[in-house]
């Protein structure tokens, strides 16, 4: 378990007075949200949640509005106090941490980027980015030097002495990002960081995050309600509904084998050819297939295989770590493409 960066076990968060009893009560804890609210006046925003995030992984939490994503991600640094369960970060159980330890954790190990930026309006960009360092007690020169580096990294060079109000939404979120990066944390938590931005800027910012992740390899927990964003960024995706985990897996696992109708419905509009890999459509190798047919890795995304398959006179073989596991032909590709178009 210690190899994972973040490990969550049986986590509950119940809002409302007397909420602490609910996770312990087998009858109440089984009630659906609306009945629970009626009976106790409490809202169970996170229910019995367990998952692990590996070092360097981008872990996406997804769900519709109100499903408890923000609550969950805040429980990870106790910005919201969990009701029960455990959260351990780098092996340390943070629910047992004393205030000073918790502060240390927030200063050194985890930082967060918020949907509404949370910038301090009375401070310049430079001072906003340096804020976390100032809180730690870093000397002025040191923190400004470091902040300038980070500001350059997120592409805001030249805007150091602007105030947040003078920046566009996308630039403000870059400041938020820079602030999170400035302290060089082990992990960064994102709570719907780009949902307030328009689609073009959102795409830029997603690219930015991907780039930063490649460069620095930090663990990231990323909350979003946008499936395409989730698929684009996430190594793994956790889908939440009414505070519960519905399914957790890689993007093509969700699309390829949805755990239930809810997920199936959820992912129905995803262009399958863009997400699924050959693994999901490979058929057993037919005897008629020539041995010198082209070979593609099973991890190839279908869309990228189109060219090869269409130009090959025979079916194409699929291999997984050196062994041939199956084959695909034009028909299998076309059926995926057809279903994609129908969904769209």
Partner 1 sequence: MSATLIELEKTSGTEPAPAKLPRRRLSRRALLLLSAAVVWIAGFVFLHGTGTLALPTSELTDLHRSLNHFNSWVASNRDDNPVFLYLLSPLRSAVDAVAAVFTTVFAASSIGLGLPEIGWLGTVALLGWIAFAVGNARVALLTVAVFTFFGLQGLFVEAAHTFALVVTAVLLSLLVGLPMGVLAGVSGRVEKIITPVLDFMQILPTFVYLAPLALVFLIGPASAVIATVIYAAPPIIRLTAHGIRGIPENTREASDSLGTTSLQRLFTLQIPMAKRTIVMGINQGTMAALSMVTIAALIAAPGLGQVVVRALQSLDVGTAVNAGLSIVLMAIMLDRVTTAASERALPATQRRRSRVSRRTRMIVVGATFALVLMLVQLSRTMLWAARFPQEVNLGPAITGGVDNASEWLQTHLFLLTGAFREAVTLAFLNPFQTAVTETPFFIMFAALALVAYAFGGWKLTALVLACLTMIIYLGLWGDAMVTLASTLVATVIVMVLGIVFGVAMGRSSRFDKLMRPVLDAGQTLPAFVYLVPFLGLFGATRFTAIIAGVIYAAPAAIKIMADGISGVSPTVVEAAVASGSTPWQVITKVQLPMARKSLGLAANQGLIYVLAMVVVGALVGAGGLGYDVVAGFVQSSLFGKGLAAGLAIVFLGILLDRITQAAAFTAPSRSLSTAQPTTTKEA
Ligand X SMILES: Nc1ncnc2c1ncn2[C@@H]1O[C@H](COP(=O)(O)OP(=O)(O)OP(=O)(O)O)[C@@H](O)[C@H]1O
Interacting residues toward Mg ion by CB under 5 A = 70
Residue written as tokens 């084998």? 257
Choosing among ligand X, Mg ion, partner 1, none, which partner's interface includes residue 5 (Cβ < 5 to 8 Å by kind)? none
Binding of residue 83 to ligand X (CB under 6 A):
no
Which residue in 10, 24, 103, 283 binds partner 1 (CB under 8 A)? 103
CB of 111 to Mg ion, least distance (A): 18
d(CA 136, CA 210) in angstroms, rounded, equals 28
Binding of residue 40 to partner 1 (CB under 8 A):
no
Binding of residue 179 to partner 1 (CB under 8 A):
yes
Binding residues for ligand X, rule CB under 6 A, total 12
Choosing among Mg ion, partner 1, ligand X, none, which partner's interface includes residue 43 (Cβ < 5 to 8 Å by kind)? ligand X
d(CA 114, CA 173) in angstroms, rounded, equals 8
d(CA 212, CA 112) in angstroms, rounded, equals 15
Closest listed residue to residue 113, CA positions, set 175, 40, 162, 33: 175
Give backbone dihedrals phi and psi of 127, rounded to 5 degrees, phi first.
-70, -30
Binding of residue 69 to ligand X (CB under 6 A):
yes
Binding of residue 193 to ligand X (CB under 6 A):
no
Binding of residue 119 to partner 1 (CB under 8 A):
yes
Which residue in 121, 284, 290, 291 binds partner 1 (CB under 8 A)? 121
Which residue in 3, 17, 34, 65 binds ligand X (CB under 6 A)? 65
Continuous H helices in 69-183: 69-75, 99-108, 125-136, 140-153, 169-182
CA atoms in the 13 A half-sphere facing the CB of 200: 0
Binding of residue 90 to ligand X (CB under 6 A):
no
d(CA 311, CA 293) in angstroms, rounded, equals 11
Is residue 223 helix, strand or coil? strand
Binding of residue 134 to partner 1 (CB under 8 A):
yes
């Amino acid at each position: 378990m210690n190899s994972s960066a973040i490990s969550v076990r049986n986590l509950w968060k119940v809002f409302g007075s007397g909420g602490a009893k609910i996770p312990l009560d087998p009858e109440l804890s089984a009630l659906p949200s609306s009945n629970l609210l009626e009976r106790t006046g409490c809202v169970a925003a996170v229910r019995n949640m367990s998952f692990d995030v590996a070092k360097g992984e981008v872990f996406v939490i997804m769900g519709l509005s109100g499903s408890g994503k923000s609550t969950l991600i805040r429980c990870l640094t106790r910005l919201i106090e969990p009701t029960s369960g455990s959260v351990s970060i780098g092996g340390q159980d943070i629910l047992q941490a004393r205030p000073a330890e918790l502060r240390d954790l927030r200063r050194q190990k985890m930082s967060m980027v918020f949907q509404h930026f949370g910038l301090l309006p009375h401070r310049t960009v430079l001072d906003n980015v340096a804020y976390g360092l100032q809180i730690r007690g870093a000397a002025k020169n040191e923190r400004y030097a470091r902040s300038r580096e980070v500001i350059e990294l997120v592409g805001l060079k030249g805007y150091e002495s602007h105030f947040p109000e003078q920046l566009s939404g996308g630039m403000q979120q870059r400041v938020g990002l820079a602030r999170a990066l400035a302290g060089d944390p082990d992990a960064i938590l994102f709570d719907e960081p780009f949902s307030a931005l328009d689609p073009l800027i959102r795409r830029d910012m997603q690219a930015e995050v991907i780039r930063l992740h490649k460069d620095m390899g930090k663990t990231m927990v990323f909350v979003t309600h946008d499936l395409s964003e989730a698929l684009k960024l996430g190594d793994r995706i956790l889908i939440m509904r009414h505070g519960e985990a519905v399914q957790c897996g890689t993007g093509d696992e969700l699309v390829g084998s949805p755990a239930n109708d809810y997920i199936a419905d959820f992912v129905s509009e995803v262009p399958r050819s863009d997400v699924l890999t050959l693994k999901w459509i490979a058929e057993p190798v037919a005897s008629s297939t020539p041995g010198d047919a082209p070979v593609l890795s099973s991890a190839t995304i279908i869309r990228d295989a189109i060219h090869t398959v269409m130009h090959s006179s025979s079916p194409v073989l699929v291999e997984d770590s050196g062994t041939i596991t199956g084959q695909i032909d034009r028909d299998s590709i076309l059926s995926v493409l057809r279903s994609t178009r129908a969904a769209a």
